Chain A
């Protein structure tokens, strides 16, 4: 067993006394312009969602100003009931982000223990989990979400539930794979040799080291959930009028594409930009947090 050779072939990275990790990560992140753009986009929509009440009511109707094109008084125009498109897009951001983040959080909360148990103990538990996720993954994400939402009934809560369950198999698979790799690390063997209990090994040795993968996975899962929410609402399976969501706004705009195209453009743009933002952010985080990427 001639051990691994002193790694000399690589660029002499081991020589560089690394500066504190966090600063280094921030620096590496900032150097990626697209990742920063993603962060800015996400930040902008979060701000928009938080301060949406300041932009006026999303439900107040004004029949004097119906389908007004964008102007100084109505920056994004108004819809067929004279409601402010700006206020509705901003309030829609609340619903979309909430649905995206909550459903992903719900999925993670279920996937982490399932993936941990399956990957750590292997055996029959793992076999059951693997088969079940395989079956669920046989259905495309949106089909699964639509089916679940149809069964559960239309409401924001059920949208979160449906999207969360639909994300579950993918996340379980990622976590299980990560746990399988981590449990072979020598420091886990050392902990076993110390007499550490399984729960302690999972909580203190495996989960913290799976964290960066989980953060990246979550960041990439959120935009999918946002699109999922828009789709469900568009189909009438999600948030119910008059509460605005980007999906219901798009759905309502269908009838007025000739007269008032802005009604479709702005929620569509909002969906596109948020999704893009999360994806850029996720890619950036993957580059920064993955220790294998050195440049």
Chain B
């Protein structure tokens, strides 16, 4: 797969342009073996984020979504493909060439406990990016730190405190302050609310929405919870086993999910409304995620897909805009008439159980 048709972002020239990105890890050699096992964590991913746009990247564990985020933040070198930040290709830059560009992209991590240096005060943590890039010093630096802390809703007195004295939600606010203090053009949020309690999660999501509107940064928001990603994003890309299987606007994805995996994701997320939840036809996927060491032939989802046909086992579907512009999906069963109705197939019992094949994958 060389060029991947993709959803055009509706908001001006791209801040981030990722083309055919692959990240492979070697998973240790075999004893006496030639060649090493290769984990295809990310395999041919293309995406684009426009100015001020929030792109949600949703997927389950092993989908490679965090690896995309880390590659974009310059934390690991891609195996192939290109990443352009504001029109500048970064994958081949040396570390010193990369350094000034790091101002433009910052990242926040999932775990608020391991993402802050326990030996630094909150003020020093937030000041660190300013220090590294020599942006401001002395009183001016203090002023910028204070104003950033205020923006994320932390009292200025917390400046002299240490991470262990803060709650999980407060720590995540510090993480946001640190990532945004340089006013980056692109902000990578890697599961920023997954480790938080729901009430704290709500506060952070609201805050992120406010900050994004106020500061206008573009954002790659990575998450496993469809409702959280849907809440914050303008567009959403769904990843499965290292590939994007569907990408479109938030509304279209919600109103008409096309890929059987996306449909299963929506169906599996229980709604906090008992009568509604009871009335739904649930698409329960059989089996587990196949090993990325040995991905299935053809469509990587065919081992768990309730509506897979023979062709899915042999041909890999390309990500194409089948039903119209702005909605790309990688599935043979989606045609100009629309997506397959997976729930109906499950309800009618026509979907075959795939336990034997599934078993071989695990």
Contacts and interface: CB of A to CB of B under 8 A. Distances in A.
B102 A195 contact: yes
B133 A3 contact: no
A196 B98 CA distance: 11
A24 to B, nearest CB: 10
The residue in A190, A195, A204 that gathers the most chain B C-beta atoms within 10 A of its C-beta is A190
A193 B115 contact: no
Contacts of A186: 109-111, 114-115
B75 A189 contact: yes
Contacts of B120: 204
Given A21-B162, A193-B75, A194-B132, A208 B178 contact: no
Nearest to B60: A1
B165 A17 contact: yes
Contacts of A185: 114-115
A123 interface: no
Nearest to A15: B167
A270 interface: no
B194 A18 contact: no
A195 B109 contact: no
B158 interface: no
Interface in B187-241: 191, 194-197, 224
A6 B197 contact: yes
B29 interface: no
Interface residues of A, number: 26
B61 interface: yes
A10 interface: no
A14 B128 contact: no
A123 B171 CA distance: 34
A196 B132 contact: yes
Contacts of B196: 6
Nearest to B191: A3
Interface residues of B, number: 44
Contacts of B178: 190
A21 B164 contact: yes
B123 interface: no
Interface in A1-51: 1-4, 6, 14, 17-18, 21
Interface in A114-171: none
Contacts of B105: 193
Nearest to B124: A204
A196 B105 CA distance: 14
A193 B73 contact: yes
Interface string B110-149: 1100111111100000001100110000000000000000
B224 A18 contact: no
- Of the listed residues A193, A196, A211, the one surrounded by the most CB atoms of chain B closer than 10 A to its CB is A193
A63 interface: no
A174 interface: no
B66 interface: yes
Interface in A172-207: 185-187, 189-196, 200, 204-205
A195 B175 CA distance: 16
A2 B164 contact: no
Interface string A232-257: 00000000000000000000000000
Interface string B53-88: 000000011000110001001110000000000000
B115 A14 contact: no
A209 interface: yes
A190 B119 contact: no
B99 interface: yes
Contacts of B115: 185-187, 190
B34 to A, nearest CB: 21
B173 interface: no
Contacts of B128: 191, 194, 196
24 contacts: A1-B61, A1-B110, A2-B61, A4-B195, A6-B196, A18-B165, A21-B162, A185-B114, A186-B111, A186-B114, A186-B115, A189-B109, A190-B107, A190-B115, A190-B178, A190-B179, A191-B128, A193-B73, A193-B74, A194-B102, A196-B132, A204-B120, A205-B117, A211-B119
Interface of B: 60-61, 65-66, 70, 73-75, 98-100, 102-103, 105-107, 109-111, 114-120, 128-129, 132-133, 162, 164-165, 167-168, 175, 178-179, 191, 194-197, 224
